[in-house]
Amino acid sequence: IEAKCFLSPFSDRETDQYIAHRMMVSGCQREVISAEAARLIHDLTQGVPRQINRLCDLSLLIGFAEKMNTIRREAIETLYNELVSI
């Protein structure tokens, strides 16, 4: 049995809620990705959930490696620029 599911791109608000929900489900109880960073994630991914997941995952990995308390817009910009230059 095969099933396909298509999710429409999220709005800005839905992206914010999606990121917050994913962080909460993982056990996080504070804001790790700033609101400005979440807005940029939405803009860069055009609200596509799979791309949101990928960019958030990589930003959290980099944030951990760099010992960041909060992932800010500048970190997302740097990460994205590195990804598109590959």
Q: What is the mean pLDDT of the chain?
A: 94
pLDDT > 70 in the chain, percent: 99
The pTM for the full model equals 0.88
End-to-end, the C-alpha distance of the chain in Å comes to: 37
Q: What is the pLDDT confidence band of residue 72, given thresholds at 50, 70 and 90?
A: very high
Helices and strands (H, E) in the chain, number of each type = 4, 0
Of 3-7, 41-45, 67-71, the least confident:
3-7
Q: What is the mean pLDDT of the segment spanning 30-44?
A: 97
Would you say residue 15 has pLDDT above 80? Answer: yes
- Angstrom distance (rounded) from CA 63 to CA 1: 40
Here the tokens at position 48 are: 């596509």
